[in-house]
Amino acid sequence: MATQTITELELQTCSVTAPKTTQVGTAPGRPLSDATPPSSSTPSSASIVEEAYPHLAKSRAWIVITQLCGINFVSSFSNGLVSIGLPTMATAINIPNNLLLWPSSAFYLTMGSCLLIAGSVADVIGPRRVNIPGALLTAVMILASGFAKDAITLIMLRAIQGIANAMVVPTAISIVSNNVEEGTARNIGFASIFLSMPLGFAVGMIVGGLFVSTVGWEVGFYTGGGTGLLLVVVAMWALPKDAKLGPLTTTLKRLAVEIDWVGAAIASASIALLSYVLAMLSADTAHIKEPSNIALLVVSLLLLPAFAMWMEFQVKRGRPALIPNQLWKNIPFTSVCLMILLCNAVVNCMELYSSLFFQEVQLLSAIETAIRILPQVLVGAILSLLAGVLVNRVHVMASIMISSVLAAGSPLLMAVIDPSRSYWIMAFWAQLLAPFGVDVLFTVGTLVVSEAFPRKTQALAGAVFNTFAQVGTSIGLCITSVISLSVTEQSSVPNKESPQALMQGYRAAFWALFAWMIAACVIGMFGLRTVGKVGIKRE
């Protein structure tokens, strides 16, 4: 990403890091392992000079972090509102059963498939120029969703909101990475951004439940959209300016030359097709028998080796490669990507199946269910803040392994739970343990991934990390849905919709989640053993 221009006024509130020269693809600061792979994501062939990056004054930095967290919170708030209010919304605007999941699925499908492209563009033209339009589009789409009168309109608005969110998330990481001083402030910044997402979702579920049962679900969208517009105004003042781009022809040439468009298109197409098929299977496993879904699944999988071959081709030509194959030899980078895929799948599935357990097995209301899941959110908030403060004082191996082992206890408790017993005996502790793995990993993993990428491609680094998280959620929901439905159908209970039959399927899903957390622990044990501390302030 280009260096930001510093005016006289900005110099009064910013400190500037000294320019330094690094080899192409060498992450600034301490390498994560003994052999940090070279990258070809920049057009230079020998070395690049990373120009001075202005560090914001502490007060300004906290305003920036708060604004970035706020827009992510608002977007996630709308997701929680959709999740809790979907049955009522379906009745109000006549959403047919075959489209019932799409107001939620459309958001995640478009977001996951657009992250890499948005991150790549932001690294060329500047994160502010991508973040603010993304935030504005997010706010407008949330507000407009409250006025939707039919299913197709709502789904389209949610899909566009997903694209807008893909513009916001990686650029938020880039802004914090390049403009907030290394150390505790930056670590808390990363932690807070990721905290705002599950926190916003949970608040959306709780407040949305109140809106649905009182003034109406539309008010939730009006509230979220209005708040988002206020945050856009704050962003226009607070976010640090990007460097001047120069003539339009020069900018267009840079976009054409410095971005691996073919690689981004291949990766995005693969993710979009896979996410679509997984969403269809999550709704009904019988969809796998449809020729169109089989074809799309095959194409999405074939695009993966095609992407690897294109990366190799680009590297040999000395052209920009989106994610060079050599980067996967960086064991810590590969490990945290795989771990976030598994851990994000587990925490999202835990939230879903815990909700189903409380509502379908224990027959509790939506509000009662939201209250029982609330400890997961509160603990997650505390963990994220603690991770931001302590990540530079504790070895990565210790923090990741301890938190992941504790998180594995959550699905284990739910897998062996007795539904007739008190909430406080097992279910409560399962909710407390659920966020341990992912909330710590998001903070630590972001630092690991950001150090694996050159400083000029921090938006792409954030996009890669979040893409793995999004894909993990899609895969997790699909696989657990298949497992749960299959076990329920094969149960000896005559009524397959009874709490007893459903519980057998849910138990199987919880056992699968437990296995995934154990797999994440094993990956961390071997993949992160060479990593010391991250997020340390360097002179």
Give pLDDT tens digits for 350-378.
Answer: 888 888 898 888 888 777 887 888 888 88
Same fold, 53-246 and 327-539: yes
Q: DSSP label at 359?
A: I
Q: How far is CA 54 from the centre of its chain?
A: 27
Give pLDDT tens digits for 242-269.
Answer: 888 778 888 888 888 888 899 999 999 9
Closest CA to 145 of 78, 70, 76: 78
Strand (E) or helix (H) holding 449: helix 436-452
Tokens 């920049």 correspond to: 42
d(CA 142, CA 169): 16
Q: DSSP label at 357?
A: I
Look up residue 94 and give its two tokens. 């006549």
R_g (Cα) of the chain, nearest Å: 23
Closest CA to 392 of 535, 522, 287, 281: 535
DSSP string of 122-180, one letter each residue? HHHH-HHHHHHHHHHHHHHHHHHHTT--SHHHHHHHHHHHHHHHHHHHHHHHHHHHHHS
319 close to 43: Cβ distance less than 8 angstroms: yes
Single-letter code of the amino acid located at 342: L
Report the percentage of the chain scoring pLDDT > 90: 28
DSSP string of 386-445, one letter each residue? HHHHHTTTS-HHHHHHHHHHHHHHHHHHHHS--TTS-TTTTHHHHHHHTTHHHHHHHHHH
CA atoms within 13 A on the CB side of 460: 29
Look up residue 387 and give its two tokens. 């991770």
Per-domain residue ranges for the chain? 53-246, 261-321, 327-539
Q: If DSSP codes are grouped into helix, strand and coil, which group holds residue 89?
A: helix
Q: Which CATH number fits domain 53-246: 3.40.50.2000, 1.20.1250.20, 1.20.1530.20, 3.90.1720.10?
A: 1.20.1250.20
Q: What is the mean pLDDT of the chain?
A: 81
Q: If DSSP codes are grouped into helix, strand and coil, which group holds residue 14?
A: strand
Within 10 Å of residue 343's Cβ, how many Cβ atoms? 32
**Residue range 514-522: mean pLDDT, rounded:** 94
Single-letter code of the amino acid located at 448: V
Among the listed ranges 124-128, 225-229, 527-531, which one has the minimum average pLDDT value?
Answer: 527-531
Give pLDDT tens digits for 21-45.
Answer: 333 333 333 344 434 444 444 444 3
Q: DSSP label at 491?
A: S
Strand (E) or helix (H) holding 92: helix 58-93
Residue 3 has pLDDT above 70, yes or no: no
On the 0-12 / 13-18 / 19+ scale of CB atoms within 10 A, 37 is middle
Tokens 């803040």 correspond to: 385
Q: What is the pLDDT of residue 532?
A: 61
Greater pLDDT, 511 or 449 = 511
- For residue 425, report the phi and psi dihedrals to the nearest 5 degrees: -75, -45
Residues 6+ apart with CB under 8 A from 211: 81, 85, 217, 219, 220
Q: If DSSP codes are grouped into helix, strand and coil, which group holds residue 315?
A: helix
**Residue range 394-399: mean pLDDT, rounded:** 80
Q: Where does the pLDDT of residue 504 fall: very low under 50, low under 70, confident under 90, or very high at 90 and above?
A: very high
**Residue range 103-132: mean pLDDT, rounded:** 88
Per-residue CA distances from 5 to 21, 58, 148, 175, 204 (Å): 19, 19, 42, 14, 38
Per-residue CA distances from 311 to 48, 273, 536 (Å): 21, 20, 32
Q: What is the pLDDT of residue 533?
A: 59
Strand (E) or helix (H) holding 497: none
62 close to 351: Cβ distance less than 8 angstroms: no
Single-letter code of the amino acid located at 306: A
Residue 52 has pLDDT above 60, yes or no: no
Could you name the CATH architecture of 327-539?
Up-down Bundle (1.20)
Helices 102-125 and 261-283 cross at an angle (nearest 10°) of 170
